[in-house]
Amino acid sequence: MDNLRQNIVTHIAQELDCGFDCFFNFKTYETIRIPNLSHIIDDDDFREAFGADLRKIEKHKADFIKIEALESFESFKIMELFVEQLADNKFKEELENVLVNKKPFQNFKHLIDNSDFRQVWFDFKLNEIERKVKNELTQGKPTHNKA
């Protein structure tokens, strides 16, 4: 994959990780990020802030591929994959316990943030999200849904 495409994939993956849906125009290589609609509280403010982007997507919808922010189960699966590949058995066991108990996301984050594996986790997670992005871009099915 050339540098431009890798940069696009990384950029989209980072936006997805922040909870944005991304619309990628495969003709112009433009990426538009819009907050995932499940997080929107005030529709009027949303339309005001993102109206121009929404109109652009609607006008050229055949040229855009929509890549949605990760759902909880997808994020949880990435956490499980991370834990599976850990070589440190003590920390692996701690994380396995976190994943089967209450508040797994919050407690996983707390353990990771206070460990030597923080950067390893971020790199792993970004790599997994990039894999999702590459897969969706490869499928190359432009969106015909409204944003």
Q: How confident is the model at residue 144 (pLDDT cuts 50, 70, 90)?
A: very low
What's the chain's Rg over C-alpha atoms?
17
- State the Cα angle at 43 between 39 and 46, rounded to 5°: 75
Q: 33 vs 45, which has greater pLDDT? A: 33
Alpha helices in 37-142 (DSSP H): 43-59, 72-85, 89-99, 104-113, 118-139
Q: Using pLDDT thresholds of 50, 70 and 90, give the confidence band for residue 147.
A: very low
Instruction: Enter the pTM of the model.
Output: 0.84
- List CB contacts of 57: < 8 A, sequence separation 6 or more: 23, 32, 64, 143, 147
Yes or no: say if 28 and 44 are a contact pair by the CB < 8 Å rule: no
Per-residue pLDDT, 28: 92
Return the pLDDT at 120.
Answer: 97
pLDDT for 88-129, tens place per residue? Answer: 999 999 999 999 999 999 999 999 999 999 999 999 999 999
Residue 6 has pLDDT above 70, yes or no: yes
In order of 28, 80, 98, 140, the CA distances from 12 in angstroms are: 15, 22, 29, 15
Domains in the chain, number: 1
Nearest C-alpha neighbor of 35 from the set 18, 51, 58, 13: 18
Q: Which domain holds residue 121?
A: 1-147
